[in-house]
């Protein structure tokens, strides 16, 4: 018997997908990747003809729990985090993955299914404003601002601590993630196998221009920055952070890899945490 909607055989494997893929392809930007043998504009132009073949690939992937190795490759393009930063300092660059266009429909379908499951089961993080519909930096700011103002209205002093996890997407331990998906979120069976396949045996090379490409290397940690599924996986991986903060009696809000912690007390009182 299946004890979870993600357990048997897979929430991803529902058959069909032609119409869903058509919508995803139509709404995707015209970005190309050197890994693709077929230019993106051709796929978009002839989407109605190619979608059944793409749907067949998606069906096979979800049914077997295997991600094609061809779409687990990436070209890394180093982009300056801010235009005014020194281009000679490597730490000023963000490694953005240029992935195969074909990987996007598959990842969007999986991300949609996981988000639906989390919403229906009540497992979705509540105090999180990133990677969620109808949430943004504005909702994060409003939440924190409102929480602080309410404490100030009670004549309390508020201490605010802002945390930023460096190279956040690169910190994900694959074994730890898979254990968490199974034990905390009930993701099992073919679903877990598919996500394990998605994370494993990924490779990347740095591409400065079409002719300047480094040798390829395998990834042992992390998920690709610029991928569709990466933010969803990162959210699930860092979910225990909320429980740790709550255990210490602090108020908080999360936005991607940024964490806002705040605690209050009346002047002269001691700040108390458990």
Q: CA 274 to CA 247: how far, in whole Å?
A: 7
Percent of the chain clearing pLDDT 70 (strictly above): 92
Q: Is residue 16 scored above 80 in pLDDT?
A: no
* Residue 15, pLDDT score: 62
Q: Which residue, chain included where needed, has tokens 């924190």?
A: 144
Q: Which residues contact 190 (CB under 8 A, 6 or more apart)?
A: 8, 9, 10, 12, 13, 62, 63, 64, 65
Give residue-wise pLDDT tens across range 52-110: 998 998 888 988 999 998 889 998 888 998 989 999 998 888 888 888 988 988 999 99
- The helix (run of H) or strand (run of E) holding residue 264 is strand 258-265
- Give the pLDDT band (50/70/90) at residue 11: low
Q: Is residue 180 scored above 90 in pLDDT?
A: yes
Arithmetic mean of pLDDT, 214-234: 88
* Residue 142, pLDDT score: 93
Q: CA 267 to CA 154: how far, in whole Å?
A: 11
Percent of the chain clearing pLDDT 90 (strictly above): 34
Dihedral through CA 131, CA 99, CA 13, CA 221, nearest 10? Answer: -70
Mean pLDDT value across the chain: 86
The listed range with the strongest mean pLDDT (24-28, 37-41, 150-154, 205-209) is: 150-154
* Residue 8, pLDDT score: 41
In 46-113, beta strands by DSSP E: 73-80, 93-99
* Residue 196, pLDDT score: 94
Could you tell me if 157 and 163 are in contact, meaning their C-beta atoms sit under 8 angstroms apart? no
* Residue 207, pLDDT score: 87
């Amino acid at each position: 018997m299946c004890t979870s909607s993600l357990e048997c055989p897979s929430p991803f494997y529902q058959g069909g997908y032609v119409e869903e893929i058509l919508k995803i392809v139509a709404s995707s930007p015209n970005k190309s990747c050197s890994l693709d043998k077929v230019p993106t504009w051709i796929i978009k132009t002839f989407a109605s003809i190619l979608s059944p073949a793409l749907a067949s690939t998606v069906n096979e992937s979800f049914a077997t729990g295997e991600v094609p190795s061809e779409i687990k490759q990436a070209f890394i393009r180093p982009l300056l985090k801010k235009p005014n930063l020194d281009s000679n300092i490597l730490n000023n660059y963000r490694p953005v993955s240029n992935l195969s266009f074909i990987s996007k429909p598959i990842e969007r379908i999986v991300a949609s299914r996981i988000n639906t499951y989390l919403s229906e089961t009540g497992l979705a993080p509540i105090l999180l404003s990133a990677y969620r519909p109808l949430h943004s930096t504005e909702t994060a700011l409003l939440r924190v601002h409102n929480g602080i103002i309410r404490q100030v209205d009670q004549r309390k002093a508020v201490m605010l601590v802002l945390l930023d996890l460096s190279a956040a997407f690169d910190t994900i331990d694959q074994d730890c993630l898979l254990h968490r998906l199974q034990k905390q979120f009930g993701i099992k069976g073919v679903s877990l196998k598919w996500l394990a396949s998605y994370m494993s045996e990924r490779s990347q090379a740095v591409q400065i221009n079409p002719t300047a490409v480094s040798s390829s290397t395998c990834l042992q940690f992390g998920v690709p920055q610029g991928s569709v599924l990466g933010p969803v996986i990162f959210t699930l991986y860092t979910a225990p952070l909320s429980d740790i903060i709550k255990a210490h009696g602090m108020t908080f809000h999360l936005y991607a890899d940024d964490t806002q912690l705040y605690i209050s007390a009346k002047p002269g009182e001691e700040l108390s945490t458990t």
